[in-house]
């Protein structure tokens, strides 16, 4: 396994300064860049460990705090094991912050995140990949749509609200996507029911996007997050296999 170096970094955005975590192989060489978008619980040890695992596989990974407008710890201190059933106030704190991040803000932020990767000496020249979890899957799909010249691969896992009635619903922007897309859905997920998955697939088909869409049997929303009750080891390992295969295809052929 490749040794990994992880550091905290600050990224200047159009709206302020985003704190972030950068993980990379410790060999001092440039590697393909990956932008990792968080779930709603935010920047924390679980997500840093996921960035480290990607770095150990040979990538330079940027994990930004997408809620930076609300500070470095927008919800205060979260427990090591995040169980909303044990503390119902968690979502009372999270929901307003999550809902406040607009598509236009996320587009501006993606400009800054991708610019940081382009300028970083530990990131290889060329396009990057994006992966996201829960709400991060929406950000990943939006980034692939708004930056088609920069994103070679985009993945989303247990993503929710990818299809809505809103004019700016993520599925309405997929016509701009040139990346290969992988989507791994939870089959027990009220935020992305089967009919919405079908509608998203129809939009991807109509746009001619290269994609794989799979539903993980028995998996719950959040199945990759080991610090929550939704964690599913089998589904998580399936996610890692799919993600690493996507990245290998993207960077082997780019």
Task: Note the pLDDT tens digit of each residue in 54-74.
Answer: 999 999 999 999 999 999 999
pLDDT above 70 covers what percent of the chain? 99
- pLDDT tens digits for 141-177? 999 999 999 999 999 999 999 999 999 999 999 999 9
Separation between Cα atoms, residue 1 and residue 233, nearest integer Å: 20
| 27 is annotated as an active-site residue | no
pLDDT at 253 over 80: no
pLDDT at 1 over 80: no
Separation between Cα atoms, residue 9 and residue 14, nearest integer Å: 16
| 239 is annotated as an active-site residue | no
pLDDT band, residue 2 (cuts 50/70/90) = confident
- Displacement of CA 202 from its chain's centroid (Å): 22
Helices marked H in the chain — which ranges?
45-56, 89-100, 103-119, 135-146, 194-207, 233-253
Write down the catalytic residue from 158, 171, 221, 239: 221
| 168 is annotated as an active-site residue | no
Q: Global pTM?
A: 0.98
Write down the catalytic residue from 189, 227, 232, 236: 189
> Does domain 4-253 fall into CATH 3.30.110.40?
no
pLDDT band, residue 209 (cuts 50/70/90) = very high
Write down the catalytic residue from 134, 147, 227, 239: 134
């Amino acid at each position: 396994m490749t040794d990994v170096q992880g550091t905290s970094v600050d990224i200047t955005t159009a709206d302020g300064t985003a704190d972030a975590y950068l993980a990379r192989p410790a060999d001092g060489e440039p590697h393909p860049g990956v932008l990792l978008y968080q779930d709603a619980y935010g920047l924390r040890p679980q997500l840093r460990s996921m960035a480290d695992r990607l770095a150990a596989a040979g990538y330079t990974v940027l994990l930004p705090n997408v809620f930076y407008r609300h500070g470095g710890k927008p919800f205060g201190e979260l427990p090591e094991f995040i169980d909303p059933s044990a503390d119902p106030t968690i979502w009372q704190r999270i929901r307003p912050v999550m809902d406040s991040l607009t598509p236009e803000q996320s587009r501006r932020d993606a400009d800054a995140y991708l610019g940081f990767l382009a300028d970083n000496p530990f990131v290889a020249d060329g396009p990057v990949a994006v992966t996201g979890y829960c709400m991060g899957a929406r950000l990943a799909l939006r980034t692939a749509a708004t930056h088609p010249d920069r994103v070679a691969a985009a993945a989303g896992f247990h993503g929710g609200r990818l299809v809505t009635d809103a004019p700016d619903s993520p599925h309405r922007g997929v016509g701009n996507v040139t990346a290969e897309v992988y989507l791994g859905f939870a089959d027990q997920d009220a935020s992305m029911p089967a009919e919405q998955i079908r509608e998203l697939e129809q939009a991807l088909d109509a746009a001619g996007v290269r994609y794989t869409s799979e539903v993980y049997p028995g998996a719950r929303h959040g199945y990759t997050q080991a610090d929550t009750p939704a964690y599913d080891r089998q589904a998580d390992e399936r996610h890692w296999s799919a993600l690493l295969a996507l990245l290998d295809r993207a960077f082997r052929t780019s």
